[in-house]
Amino acid sequence: MKSGKIKLSPSALNLFNDCPRCFWLDKVKGIKRPRGIFPSLPSGMDRVIKGYFDAYRKDDALPPEFSSDSFSTMKPYSNQQQLDLWREWKTGPQYKDEEGNILFGAIDDLMVNDGAYIPFDYKTKGTPTTVEAAKKYYSNQLNCYSLMLEAMGLPQAGYGYLLYYSPKNVREKGWVL
Protein backbone atom coordinates (compact mmCIF):
# COMPACT_ATOMS: atom_id res chain seq x y z
CA MET A 1 0.00 0.00 0.00
CA LYS A 2 3.05 2.26 -0.23
CA SER A 3 1.78 3.85 -3.45
CA GLY A 4 -1.53 4.71 -1.81
CA LYS A 5 -3.30 2.31 -4.15
CA ILE A 6 -5.20 -0.60 -2.70
CA LYS A 7 -5.63 -4.00 -4.32
CA LEU A 8 -8.45 -6.02 -2.78
CA SER A 9 -10.13 -9.35 -3.30
CA PRO A 10 -13.59 -10.37 -2.09
CA SER A 11 -11.91 -12.26 0.77
CA ALA A 12 -10.03 -9.09 1.80
CA LEU A 13 -13.36 -7.25 1.95
CA ASN A 14 -14.76 -10.08 4.05
CA LEU A 15 -11.80 -9.64 6.40
CA PHE A 16 -12.74 -5.97 6.73
CA ASN A 17 -16.36 -6.89 7.50
CA ASP A 18 -15.25 -9.53 10.00
CA CYS A 19 -12.41 -7.64 11.71
CA PRO A 20 -11.61 -4.06 10.63
CA ARG A 21 -8.48 -4.01 12.82
CA CYS A 22 -7.18 -7.21 11.18
CA PHE A 23 -7.81 -5.64 7.78
CA TRP A 24 -5.89 -2.48 8.75
CA LEU A 25 -2.98 -4.50 10.14
CA ASP A 26 -2.84 -6.53 6.93
CA LYS A 27 -3.13 -3.69 4.43
CA VAL A 28 -1.23 -0.94 6.28
CA LYS A 29 1.33 -2.80 8.41
CA GLY A 30 1.66 -6.02 6.40
CA ILE A 31 0.75 -8.15 9.44
CA LYS A 32 -1.34 -11.08 8.27
CA ARG A 33 -4.12 -12.65 10.26
CA PRO A 34 -3.15 -16.19 11.30
CA ARG A 35 -4.62 -18.75 8.92
CA GLY A 36 -5.04 -22.45 9.12
CA ILE A 37 -3.79 -24.95 6.60
CA PHE A 38 -5.74 -24.74 3.34
CA PRO A 39 -7.65 -28.01 3.05
CA SER A 40 -6.86 -29.96 -0.11
CA LEU A 41 -10.21 -31.76 -0.32
CA PRO A 42 -12.26 -28.62 -1.18
CA SER A 43 -9.73 -27.49 -3.81
CA GLY A 44 -9.74 -30.99 -5.31
CA MET A 45 -13.53 -31.01 -5.35
CA ASP A 46 -13.50 -27.56 -6.96
CA ARG A 47 -11.35 -28.93 -9.79
CA VAL A 48 -13.67 -31.93 -10.27
CA ILE A 49 -16.82 -29.77 -10.28
CA LYS A 50 -15.32 -27.35 -12.81
CA GLY A 51 -14.43 -30.30 -15.05
CA TYR A 52 -17.97 -31.63 -14.72
CA PHE A 53 -19.51 -28.32 -15.82
CA ASP A 54 -16.90 -27.83 -18.55
CA ALA A 55 -17.85 -31.20 -20.09
CA TYR A 56 -21.43 -29.96 -20.50
CA ARG A 57 -20.23 -26.54 -21.67
CA LYS A 58 -18.70 -28.21 -24.75
CA ASP A 59 -22.27 -29.13 -25.78
CA ASP A 60 -23.66 -25.71 -24.76
CA ALA A 61 -25.71 -27.43 -22.07
CA LEU A 62 -26.12 -27.46 -18.32
CA PRO A 63 -25.85 -30.66 -16.26
CA PRO A 64 -29.12 -32.61 -15.87
CA GLU A 65 -29.64 -31.44 -12.28
CA PHE A 66 -30.39 -27.99 -13.76
CA SER A 67 -33.38 -29.20 -15.78
CA SER A 68 -36.01 -27.26 -13.80
CA ASP A 69 -37.90 -24.36 -15.36
CA SER A 70 -35.79 -21.91 -13.33
CA PHE A 71 -32.80 -22.76 -15.51
CA SER A 72 -34.55 -23.48 -18.84
CA THR A 73 -33.23 -20.34 -20.58
CA MET A 74 -29.80 -20.34 -18.93
CA LYS A 75 -26.69 -21.38 -20.85
CA PRO A 76 -23.09 -21.83 -19.74
CA TYR A 77 -20.65 -19.11 -20.78
CA SER A 78 -19.28 -20.48 -24.04
CA ASN A 79 -15.73 -19.07 -24.17
CA GLN A 80 -13.79 -21.78 -22.31
CA GLN A 81 -10.41 -20.10 -22.91
CA GLN A 82 -11.59 -16.84 -21.37
CA LEU A 83 -13.26 -18.63 -18.47
CA ASP A 84 -10.04 -20.52 -17.74
CA LEU A 85 -8.23 -17.16 -17.46
CA TRP A 86 -10.93 -15.74 -15.19
CA ARG A 87 -10.60 -18.78 -12.91
CA GLU A 88 -7.09 -17.67 -11.91
CA TRP A 89 -6.69 -14.75 -9.51
CA LYS A 90 -3.73 -13.37 -11.51
CA THR A 91 -5.75 -13.18 -14.74
CA GLY A 92 -9.28 -13.01 -13.35
CA PRO A 93 -11.77 -10.19 -13.70
CA GLN A 94 -10.96 -6.80 -12.19
CA TYR A 95 -12.63 -3.53 -11.33
CA LYS A 96 -10.44 -0.42 -11.22
CA ASP A 97 -11.74 2.83 -9.74
CA GLU A 98 -10.77 6.40 -10.72
CA GLU A 99 -7.95 6.51 -8.15
CA GLY A 100 -6.44 3.27 -9.45
CA ASN A 101 -7.57 0.99 -6.63
CA ILE A 102 -8.29 -2.53 -7.85
CA LEU A 103 -10.83 -5.17 -6.89
CA PHE A 104 -9.79 -8.55 -8.28
CA GLY A 105 -10.93 -12.14 -8.06
CA ALA A 106 -11.25 -15.53 -9.68
CA ILE A 107 -14.67 -16.88 -10.63
CA ASP A 108 -15.61 -20.55 -10.68
CA ASP A 109 -18.15 -20.35 -13.47
CA LEU A 110 -20.33 -18.02 -15.45
CA MET A 111 -23.79 -18.53 -16.93
CA VAL A 112 -25.73 -16.42 -19.41
CA ASN A 113 -29.47 -15.83 -19.38
CA ASP A 114 -31.01 -13.64 -22.08
CA GLY A 115 -27.77 -11.67 -22.54
CA ALA A 116 -27.21 -11.15 -18.80
CA TYR A 117 -24.25 -12.77 -17.04
CA ILE A 118 -24.61 -14.72 -13.80
CA PRO A 119 -21.61 -15.63 -11.62
CA PHE A 120 -21.60 -19.15 -10.18
CA ASP A 121 -19.42 -20.14 -7.26
CA TYR A 122 -18.93 -23.72 -6.10
CA LYS A 123 -18.70 -24.52 -2.41
CA THR A 124 -18.00 -27.79 -0.67
CA LYS A 125 -18.85 -28.39 2.95
CA GLY A 126 -19.00 -31.41 5.22
CA THR A 127 -22.59 -30.66 6.19
CA PRO A 128 -25.51 -28.97 4.44
CA THR A 129 -25.64 -25.22 4.92
CA THR A 130 -28.52 -22.83 5.45
CA VAL A 131 -29.57 -20.06 3.09
CA GLU A 132 -28.89 -17.53 5.86
CA ALA A 133 -25.32 -18.77 6.37
CA ALA A 134 -24.65 -18.80 2.63
CA LYS A 135 -25.89 -15.20 2.30
CA LYS A 136 -23.88 -14.07 5.32
CA TYR A 137 -20.58 -15.49 4.15
CA TYR A 138 -20.78 -15.33 0.37
CA SER A 139 -23.14 -12.61 -0.91
CA ASN A 140 -20.26 -10.11 -0.85
CA GLN A 141 -18.19 -12.45 -3.02
CA LEU A 142 -20.92 -12.77 -5.67
CA ASN A 143 -21.56 -9.01 -5.58
CA CYS A 144 -17.86 -8.36 -6.16
CA TYR A 145 -17.82 -10.75 -9.13
CA SER A 146 -20.84 -8.98 -10.62
CA LEU A 147 -19.17 -5.58 -10.23
CA MET A 148 -15.95 -6.79 -11.85
CA LEU A 149 -17.75 -8.42 -14.77
CA GLU A 150 -19.95 -5.37 -15.28
CA ALA A 151 -16.83 -3.16 -15.35
CA MET A 152 -15.60 -5.39 -18.18
CA GLY A 153 -18.76 -4.63 -20.20
CA LEU A 154 -20.76 -7.76 -19.36
CA PRO A 155 -24.35 -6.89 -18.37
CA GLN A 156 -25.36 -8.47 -15.08
CA ALA A 157 -28.51 -10.38 -14.19
CA GLY A 158 -28.49 -8.84 -10.70
CA TYR A 159 -27.98 -12.15 -8.91
CA GLY A 160 -25.53 -15.02 -8.68
CA TYR A 161 -25.58 -18.62 -7.56
CA LEU A 162 -23.74 -20.53 -4.88
CA LEU A 163 -23.69 -24.20 -5.71
CA TYR A 164 -23.09 -26.23 -2.55
CA TYR A 165 -21.85 -29.80 -2.56
CA SER A 166 -21.97 -31.68 0.73
CA PRO A 167 -21.77 -35.46 1.10
CA LYS A 168 -24.76 -37.53 2.23
CA ASN A 169 -23.16 -40.96 2.33
CA VAL A 170 -20.65 -43.30 0.73
CA ARG A 171 -21.94 -46.17 -1.36
CA GLU A 172 -20.40 -49.38 -2.52
CA LYS A 173 -17.12 -48.92 -4.44
CA GLY A 174 -16.54 -45.56 -2.75
CA TRP A 175 -19.17 -43.48 -4.55
CA VAL A 176 -19.80 -40.38 -2.47
CA LEU A 177 -23.35 -39.02 -2.73
- DSSP letters spanning 23-89: HHIIIII--PPP--PPPHHHHHHHHHHHHHHHHHHTTT---GGG-SGGGTTEEE-S-HHHHHHHTST
Grouping H, G, I as helix, E, B as strand and the rest as coil, residue 15 is helix
Grouping H, G, I as helix, E, B as strand and the rest as coil, residue 132 is helix
Q: What pTM value is reported for the model?
A: 0.85
pLDDT, tens digit, for every residue of 85-131? 999 999 999 999 999 999 999 999 999 999 999 999 998 887 788 88
C-alpha span between 117 and 16 (Å, rounded): 27
Other CB atoms within 10 A of residue 72 CB: 10
Mean pLDDT of the chain: 90
pLDDT, tens digit, for every residue of 33-57? 887 776 666 778 889 999 999 999 9
